Chain A
Amino acid sequence: MLKVEDLEAWYGRSYILQKVNLHVDAGEVVSVIGRNGAGKTTTLRALMGLVAKRHGRVEFEGRDLLGLPTHERYRHGLAYVPEDRSIVPGLTVRENLRLGLLASPHLKREAEIIERLAETFPRLKERLDQIGETLSGGEQQMLAIARALAADPRMILLDEPSEGIMPVLVDEMFELFEKLRAEGMTILLVEQSVDRALAISDRAYIMDQGVIVHESGAAALLADEEMQERYCSV
């Protein structure tokens, strides 16, 4: 479904992604793990076209995405939840969800879709008319995920969804990922909490200093403590 070949990216003069290669098949959950600064976030941002200087090949469902503007990628079914969640200040929960729907062909069924999202995310249900920023960190993360799902994407990129969130909400969130996976959603997950990420993944990549240094099945990596120690411990 997603095939990345020799993806390079720069921030100013710093050479961040130094030829990244990875692929995600339809229906797969794939994790990218590694230390802070390894280039995981930059990889996701480059996939969404948010890095000004980039090079290489990004194929999504047979279409080359690299030259397309960011908004076209969403329209092709690629959704992204950034690390900072990007809940828009001053907008209510409902307005944030509507924002995710505007580019969708199903905009006319807005009420029905928001209703459905509220069922999936009960924490948002009674807070629909509250200002999004006033939610707790975990609730904001749920909102960001719900918003990204609003337009029925075929694949979702998640950047550190568990960061800074109460453990009980992290559990809830990973249950949700399990559910999405069962429904056939394709997920590319960047996550610090390695054990949890690997537990729901089919495969995993380890990233270090701007390149992929290791690829394996998630279960195998979960058992390989030496590998984890080498690339993921702080």
Chain B
Amino acid sequence: MAGYPIELIVMQLFTGLALGTVFVLLAVGLSMVFGLLTVVNFAHGAFYTVGAYTGVFLFGLTGNFWVCLVGVPLVVGTIGLVVERFLVRPLYGRGIDYPLLLTFGLAYVLVELVRIAFGTSGVPFSAPPSLQGALNLGFGYFPLYRVFLVGFTTVLLIGLWLFIERTRYGLVIRAGARDPEIVRVLGIDVSRVWLLVFGLGTAVAGLAGLLAAPMRGVIPEMGIPVLVEAFVVTVVGGMGSLAGAVVAGLLVGVVVSMTSLFAPAFADMSMFALMALVLVIRPQGLFGRAGLMGG
């Protein structure tokens, strides 16, 4: 690491964390939906795209980023509820490949709808003025928007954790993930739990799209690399694990940004190298339970 000033390394580390928060948000939704519904959601990247464009639309309408921050997860989550209720639900109990193919096709449909509505080239979207500029973190100046991103995601994840660990909806979600049959026996309609979880997962994916938009740009194809990233993070963290999604998301973000500092040519493949390494050492992922698919 000789030749690199320590400030640069620390800054790059923080950049990695900011990037990682987007990965975390993406993986949380993907992982929850897989862990509970055993649905491999190939439309996850498309929901991310729809989230960014919904943000563009709402911003054009209101000119207020904070309205988007509330509106985007509501809109995308509602789309998720409709998709689960009418498209995914009839496929439960038919094997894992049916919902996989459905969401794969759905991703194309959603992206095409975005192209029809907003055009095939990208649209500009920047952070609101109040979040532009830089903040002195003590070791250097850092883009304010990324500081906001880290803070906002932290609050959101704490909220999600409290929801899952402390509320009765969360209790049903945790129980339903591990033993759906006894949950039904005890009088709870699990299909409503699946609906809620799918809606929640897509809402968070949409939110991730909005939050990433000022950093990564808004184009109809923005969800494609993101889907791959989300799968990598989910596999590294362990399918169905919330803690795994958080740790792996930040880890992947830091690994990618550090590699792009020290060996830029390898930045794109660094996350796959990390995934391969984790799979060799811990095939179920860092926080995954072995045999999730079998159970």
Contact = CB atoms under 8 A, between A and B. Distances in A.
Contact of A50 (B171, B178, B181, B188): B181
Classify the secondary structure of B's interface with A: helix
Interface in A72-97: 72-75, 80, 82, 86, 88-91, 95
Given A50-B181, A88-B182, A71 B188 contact: yes
A88 B185 contact: no
A147 B178 contact: no
A98 B168 contact: yes
Contact of B174 (A70, A90, A103): A90
Contacts of A74: 185-187
A102 interface: yes
Nearest to A100: B186
Contacts of A90: 174, 178
A73 to B, nearest CB: 8
Given A90-B174, A91-B174, A98-B171, A103 B181 contact: no
Interface in B186-205: 186-190
Contact of A95 (B171, B181, B183, B187): B171
A69 interface: yes
A52 to B, nearest CB: 9
A156 B184 CA distance: 15
B25 to A, nearest CB: 24
A86 B179 CA distance: 7
B279 interface: no
A207 interface: no
A99 interface: yes
B187 A82 contact: no
A151 B182 contact: no
Contact of A102 (B174, B181, B185, B188): B188
Contacts, number: 68
Interface string B166-179: 00100110110011
A98 B185 CA distance: 14
Interface in A20-51: 48, 50
A75 B187 contact: yes
Contacts of B189: 69, 71
A151 B178 contact: no
Interface residues of B, number: 17
Nearest to B176: A88
Nearest to A52: B93
A41 B105 CA distance: 42
Contacts of B174: 88, 90-91
A176 B179 CA distance: 27
Interface in A86-132: 86, 88-91, 95, 98-100, 102-104
Contacts of B168: 98, 102
Contact of A99 (B171, B181, B190): B171
Most chain B beta-carbon neighbours within 10 Å: one of A71, A100, A104: A71
Nearest to B191: A69
B243 to A, nearest CB: 12
A151 B185 contact: no
B178 A89 contact: yes
Contacts of A98: 168, 171
A86 B182 contact: yes
Nearest to A80: B185
Nearest to B190: A71
A71 B172 CA distance: 13
Given A74-B185, A148-B186, 15 more contacts: A69-B189, A71-B188, A71-B190, A73-B187, A82-B185, A86-B181, A86-B182, A88-B182, A91-B171, A91-B178, A98-B168, A100-B186, A102-B168, A103-B187, A151-B187
8 contacts: A50-B184, A50-B185, A82-B181, A82-B185, A99-B182, A99-B188, A102-B186, A151-B187
Interface of A: 48, 50, 69-75, 80, 82, 86, 88-91, 95, 98-100, 102-104, 147-148, 151
